[in-house]
Structure 1
């Protein structure tokens, strides 16, 4: 038999309305939430052990008991919202859950417990959702990183991770973050985008899509470059859909985001070092192992370190049709960045030999840009044709531009 709930102070609707509906609801939610969880525990309700529909009924019953015993009045909409919020706290990610389920939201940014922003259609805007305090926020952070074997604490104050749906998460906490825990979530579409979706969104033209799809089917090695948030991974995911269903694909990522539709896909993910500096598994380690796994194509989420050497060797020695992304401001800049990464990690050869190595491995470079208003578009598609003396020989296949009738591309060759 559960212990009866103690009397509580009455909430006046007129006094509550004076502080505004949003603030009123937030105050009541935080007040009722702990009491509801306590009641559920008294009743032996375990959120992870029962179906979601049954859990919702149990939560609704518990909230009714709590509200009646405390004399708290809520309208039907607020009561339904409270049931959903408590359910999210038990089996979801708390205040973040409705934001993650909103298909119009692309990014969720948490700057401490009281400041949450979202990106819609390329524009950041604040939302009324908030955490109760820093402890509440840290509990949700641990719920995010624990299932994927990551940890975040004072000894390791930052971490990259992912949600079950593939959305990328970055967390950084005090003492490195001075104003409280910071969470950045880049959502991934539950339904993968297609090439036709990108055409409709004017990210590329039909001619660009036809060329790139033919290049993928023709097993050309493709490097996608661009700045942060420019849509590199999205484009990589779309292009991978044109790979044949009978090919064996291996993906390597820091946080698994790619949503490949083929049946024969091996997904690998790096692992950061432990506190003692051991147990790290880098992209380079995985690439070395992948070469023994008989892949038809290798897809590398991002080239950022010594894995550049193994990637280029794989592209140039039998793994045609492989793809990767890299941070760079243009096609030629992408190749120069590869030079830098190779030089920084012990490839002992003169510059011209390094450039021959790169030009022999990369066939096509695609440059994507994030433009004003958050619009992401392909800016250029270039073919790497070899070397002219000590410089790369590159042909610009497509160049993008704006015209009165909309986004256009101009085929150069």
Structure 2
């Protein structure tokens, strides 16, 4: 695809910078009239086409995500990535594609990063060269300034899903087989506690959102997230979102605090959008004290890696190894592992159940495995899965 940050190629070198400097010297709204005046003062051409081209370029530089805004609005875009002024990529579910969008120079990328950070009340400069925040439209924004980042300032924007996927939509898209969808519906009906595991960009949030959309309308969902991404189509959703510290370093609200608050809000299902810190201890405690049907997502390379990942997070929060494994074994019924194939497609790969070994440690055992075509193969834990579904159904 092709795009450009300059809507009027052929402008004399330095024209935009000259106009920008003159407008900055006399703050006020950017209008075509003020642009024309600045062009005259700079001794530049003042034809209608030039004025409108400069105005549009400057407007895009100060509104929204600037030159990245058209990319963010493209259908199916999930990520837009900037590696310095010359390299801009996007992902539409088929892997990364390099775009024709570029920035005039490194300073332009840096200005955009600092403006977006400032709009969210965050500091981004040489003293604090990185920021992770959510923009007003829900886009997740991360930036690392050069020279910490090479070959220039690096921006990562994760676009919130505009479409609400249902399980039927995932079946139609090939991310889930009909058999897999029926199994997940049974898991929800049985109110089993589960974690959706997978790597970055594997579709964990999409699958969890679709599952929550299938929860009966009579149930109250309390969703806790560090940055709001889950948008289930459900009539009774209460969302709690973490907050980073402000410029003065105060006012932070972490996910662990919000999980504790959620437990006091009468949730029929407690949902932690992404378990990646000390909140794992409170979630496991909740799943072990009568909060059926709780769920969340967890970064892991495979279902088999989930116990080690939970153990590491729990240890960092002060829960010892034996207790972490004990809580995992008794609180979590299933792990749903999703993967992103080489073709960019996201699929449910495995449903696994925890099994406690004689040592007291937990390992994940496959109950059902799905190939790239959605065909299923039962594993050693298939009987355990059937027993869980039958017991809860009864």
TM-score under structure 2 normalisation? 0.81
1:118 matched to 2:90:
yes
The correspondence for 2:153, drawn from 177, 181, 190, is 181
Name 1:198's counterpart in structure 2: 170
Residues 1:246 and 1:159: Cα distance change in structure 2 (over 3 Å): farther
Q: 1:90 to 1:145 in 2, by over 3 A?
A: closer
2:387 is matched with: none
Partner of 2:337: 367
2:64 aligned residue: 92
Encode CA deviations 1:325-358: one digit per residue, 9 max, x unaligned. 111122221122212222232124x62x432221
Q: How many residues align?
A: 373
Q: Structure 2 vs 1, CA of residues 42 and 151 (structure 1 numbering), >3 Å: closer, same or farther?
A: closer
- Which segments of 5 or more consecutive residues in structure 2 lack a partner in the other structure? 383-394
Work out whether 1:165 is the aligned partner of 2:137: yes
Equivalent-residue separation in structure 2 for 1:212 and 1:24 (angstroms): 49
Whether 2:375 is the aligned partner of 1:408: answer yes
Contact 1:156–1:275 (Cα < 8 Å) also in 2: no
1:289 aligns with 2:261: yes
- Asked if the contact 2:166/2:214 (under 8 Å) is kept, the reply is no
Q: CA deviation at 1:244?
A: 2.7
Preserved contact between residue 59 and residue 86 of structure 1 (Cα < 8 Å): no
What secondary structure sits across from 1:302 in the alignment? strand
Distance 1:393 1:129, change over 3 A: closer
Report the counterpart of residue 6 of structure 1 in structure 2. Answer: none
Whether 1:377 aligns to 2:344 is no
1:183-240 superposed Cα distances (whole Å, 9 cap, x missing partner): 0112222122222222122111111112112322432111011112211112111111
Matched, 1:387 2:356: yes
> How far apart are 1:79 and its partner, in Å?
10
Q: Unaligned 5+ residue runs, structure 1?
A: 1-20, 48-57
Superposed CA offset, 1:7-57 (max 9, x none): xxxxxxxxxxxxxx998944539866567779999999847xxxxxxxxxx
**Range 386-395 or range 197-206, more displaced:** 386-395
Report the counterpart of residue 11 of structure 2 in structure 1. Answer: 28
1:313 aligned residue (285, 295, 310): 285
Q: CA deviation at 1:296?
A: 2.3
Q: What is the rounded CA distance, in whole Å, between the counterparts of 2:209 and 2:295 in structure 1? A: 10
Q: 1:27 to 1:292 in 2, by over 3 A?
A: farther
User: Residue 311 of structure 1: CA displacement?
Assistant: 0.8
Q: How big is each residue's C-alpha offset from its partner over 1:356-406, in whole Å with a ceiling of 9 and x where there is no partner? A: 22111101101111111222111101234x53533547553321114xxx4
* Structure 1 partner of 2:391: none
**In angstroms, what is the RMSD of aligned CA positions?**
3.6
Alpha-carbon distance in 1 for matches of 2:224, 2:67: 31
CA distance in 2, matches of 1:101, 1:60: 29
Q: Determine whether 1:225 maps to 2:197.
A: yes
CA spacing shift, 1:30–1:129, aligned 2, 3 Å: farther
* Counterparts in 2 of 1:294 and 1:165: CA distance versus 1, 3 Å: same
| SS at 1:70 equivalent | coil
Between 1:292-301 and 1:226-235, the stretch displaced more is: 292-301
TM-score by length of 1: 0.77
Q: Give the corresponding residue for 2:107.
A: 135
The residue aligned with 2:223 is: 251
User: 8 Å contact 1:36–1:59 — kept in the other structure?
Assistant: no
- Contact 1:195–1:238 under 8 Å retained in 2: yes
